[in-house]
Structure 1
């Protein structure tokens, strides 16, 4: 059996990979440790052209080789900041109003994919299988094929896949789908995402879709599947319990002075529904005055993509909303919303979630949303919190114990918060047990092993 070669836009460092307890980094790293292989992609550094062209930097960690390259400023601006994040990210999250398209950026996106594939070719052996991750790298397999690579190559999309009428807003949509058909296996987070892809194939690519999900289009035959990414719930539970006595967690408990806690953890991104979430909390305080001064909402939202204009706007709007609501409902010893625009270690966040009575996870659109799964796993089973979850998160199809809400319904979300805060212990435990059973049935190992077994069978 050959090695596994994992390809992602950003490669975690060995320390980051070992320190994670959930998500993409630990999924890739654990698969590579079992099989042996290479994790290839961008180092996260913007470098000179001479450094970028020098070849991959290799770092071994046991059977895993971390192979990274830097990007020049031009490549970063066009491939990453441009087409990937200014065009594909908003469109894939159904925000065409925020999408911008420039031909030069699309050309840069394809150029960098071809350049990355060329860098990887020298590291591939005949029996290796290649697992490519996410929307940054849609043309990667096509570039490998042009380099003469015939290995099995699979692709997994971590974001939603938009319906055809949304995708058509990207001018080179047909070229992108043709490139995607160069993979042997394409995996999606949900059935809805796979159906959207199949719909495009039939309606706009002149292709066919078999009952087993096999696609024929553009002279290619490929398989498609649904693979729900998960977490290792018992590891998260142990990590959260171990860190309960950390100073930051103890300080949080002390500062609440017996108040109940609503907890949210998100990247600072317009797809997460943060403004709507703040307004739903405001509605709770307005509609149910008994909760004023008796509940605190902590929103952790570390900055991301700070050089993209739309992300600067969301930060400013969120700061304004937090200030406005706090100005309306604060007391001399009470601040309703604690908005923390900073990073915390994952272990600390999970322990903070363990102390909360409600996890508030309401993206406007999300591929899966592992924060929802991590929140459930972090809870104390003897006194668990309640998850309030958007119906537009992929996780909603699995977590039947959550209170499911529409993130556009501000009053509906406030009602769910009130119900969660008032829920009796017996119901909370029942819901938590149902959610934990779902997490254990489909943990991160199942996601990884099922995808790779299907790729080997292509």
Structure 2
């Protein structure tokens, strides 16, 4: 088998010795270093005119990055990706906006990126595409004659068909997904949403082995929950406990209990509801006044989008209101920090918190929940309070799972976590760590890539001996040898 080519909207920092910025970066870099390969994507820069990829070689890994024009950034990234797909996939249709010109820009950029990648592809490579920005990418490569196995992994939720259909070009998007050979989701619920769209819409059918036949294409569909390296995180959390910010936090708490929450500043994270549930804890339990604080770290994201500017103002207002209601001369209930911290330092900060508070309104997986658990002191672990709408809730049996829309239930879970006996905390921690080790980041990566490589093997066999038409019940993962008929051309797109 040849190299691995990874394509994502952004390419992780490549400086030697710099910590990778999250699970995708860690897992992808490990795989690339093992097999050799290419990581291709947007550089994060805007340019006057599209240009060829900038190539940087580090060991066995080739980093290939390209810039986006201001028009492409506005239409592809700010527009359709983050003003249509992101809110809709997180069940926030009320915040979604669709503009045909932005969808056209989304398709145009995918075509342009595919053309820039094509010269770097070798015949034996396998290609792994990541996330909602690049849904049409396989179709773009197929149109360029690329025959290599191509897989796709969606890091965010896939909505149920009724919600998906609120996006005007929904059927074309789902057809694009069927040009991949393997499509992976975070949870079984996301996988089922895809199958429901295909089957209930009369577009195809699936079989028990995960094969789907839709729009004249065969593909494998599965749930591949992304993990972490829990023991590496535990080591970092322990090693960084003497860093100045960690010591400052310990000193500032002065024996008070700490509830800690870390999320990007995004409406899908339910940050206002999180503050309000903490307020309910203080309202219903006066005994906690002066004895517990909530530390919310919310790094800014997409700061040039008006919706996110509004979220920041609203959250600052909520923190100020709650602090004004309950604060004492020597105690501020909510510490709200709108800044980013280096990942290893965050793990050490997690270790100081008696409660990890992860309550998104909707999330594909949420690795913060897993990182909080892995960061804990095994001898005196904290307790995780976790939203039922995070994919991680399926994998962390020791968490206190809540409905984040139920403020009373969440407040009660926080109080239970703060008061939980030591033996129960240790038992829950051990259960969750066992799950994290069993389903670590390597399992996610290797399982997906094994399925994708099996496509290449099957393609080689069927290319040599193709005798009878395959059926869904008996089909093996098929080669990307034939494409579905091209979608109708409309003003909204260029594919």
TM-score (norm. length: structure 1): 0.98
Task: Give 2:459's aligned residue.
Answer: none
Q: Kindly report which structure 2 residues correspond to 1:8-87, keeping only aligned pairs within 5 A, or say none.
A: 8-15=8-15, 19-20=19-20, 22-49=22-49, 52-53=50-51, 55-87=52-84
Moved over 4 A (4+): none
- The offset of 1:13, in angstroms, is 1.8
Structure 1 residues 237-285: Cα deviation after superposition (integer angstroms, max 9, x where no partner): 0001000000000000000111000000000000001000000000000
> Does residue 250 of structure 1 match 2:243?
no
- The offset of 1:18, in angstroms, is 5.2
Counterparts of 1:380 and 1:3, CA distance in 2: 40
Contact 1:392 1:406 in 2 (8 A): yes
Counterparts of 1:22 and 1:312, CA distance in 2: 24
Task: Give 2:448's aligned residue.
Answer: 451
Contact 1:18 1:26 in 2 (8 A): no
- The offset of 1:20, in angstroms, is 2.4
Task: Give 1:211's aligned residue.
Answer: 208
Task: Give 1:127's aligned residue.
Answer: 124
Counterparts of 2:17 and 2:412, CA distance in 1: 39
- The offset of 1:21, in angstroms, is 7.4
Counterparts of 1:103 and 1:262, CA distance in 2: 44
> Does residue 354 of structure 1 match 2:376?
no
> Does residue 192 of structure 1 match 2:189?
yes
SS in 2 for 1:244: coil
**Aligned pair partner of 1:326 in 323, 328, 344:** 323
> Does residue 305 of structure 1 match 2:302?
yes
Counterparts of 1:377 and 1:22, CA distance in 2: 14
State the aligned residue count.
455
* CA separation of 1:110 and 1:16: change in aligned 2, threshold 3 A: farther
Contact 1:17 1:25 in 2 (8 A): no
Alignment RMSD: 0.9
Task: Give 2:257's aligned residue.
Answer: 260
> Does residue 155 of structure 1 match 2:146?
no
Contact 2:12 2:20 in 1 (8 A): no
Counterparts of 1:58 and 1:452, CA distance in 2: 25
- The offset of 1:91, in angstroms, is 0.4
SS in 2 for 1:14: coil
SS in 2 for 1:315: helix
Counterparts of 1:17 and 1:376, CA distance in 2: 25
**Aligned pair partner of 2:293 in 293, 296, 299:** 296
TM-score (norm. length: structure 2): 0.91
Task: Give 1:380's aligned residue.
Answer: 377
Gaps of 5+ in 2: 456-495
Task: Give 1:137's aligned residue.
Answer: 134
Task: Give 2:232's aligned residue.
Answer: 235
- The offset of 1:317, in angstroms, is 0.7
Counterparts of 1:205 and 1:80, CA distance in 2: 31
Structure 1 residues 177-208: Cα deviation after superposition (integer angstroms, max 9, x where no partner): 01110000000000000000000001225211
Counterparts of 1:332 and 1:321, CA distance in 2: 19
Contact 2:20 2:26 in 1 (8 A): yes
Structure 1 residues 108-157: Cα deviation after superposition (integer angstroms, max 9, x where no partner): 00000000000000000000000000000000000000000000000000
- The offset of 1:33, in angstroms, is 0.3
SS in 2 for 1:414: helix
In our comparison, the structure showing a higher alpha carbon Rg is 2
Counterparts of 2:37 and 2:238, CA distance in 1: 33
Contact 2:128 2:152 in 1 (8 A): yes
SS in 1 for 2:197: helix
Contact 1:11 1:41 in 2 (8 A): yes
- The offset of 1:17, in angstroms, is 8.6
Q: Which has the higher contact order (CA 8 A, sep 6+)?
A: 2
- The offset of 1:327, in angstroms, is 0.1
Contact 1:377 1:436 in 2 (8 A): yes
Contact 1:17 1:26 in 2 (8 A): no
Counterparts of 1:105 and 1:26, CA distance in 2: 32
User: Is 296-305 or 308-317 further displaced after alignment?
Assistant: 308-317
Counterparts of 1:184 and 1:63, CA distance in 2: 26
Counterparts of 1:26 and 1:15, CA distance in 2: 14
Structure 1 residues 408-453: Cα deviation after superposition (integer angstroms, max 9, x where no partner): 0001000000000000111000000000000000000000000000
Structure 1 residues 208-250: Cα deviation after superposition (integer angstroms, max 9, x where no partner): 1111121111111111011010000000000010000000000
* CA separation of 1:130 and 1:17: change in aligned 2, threshold 3 A: farther
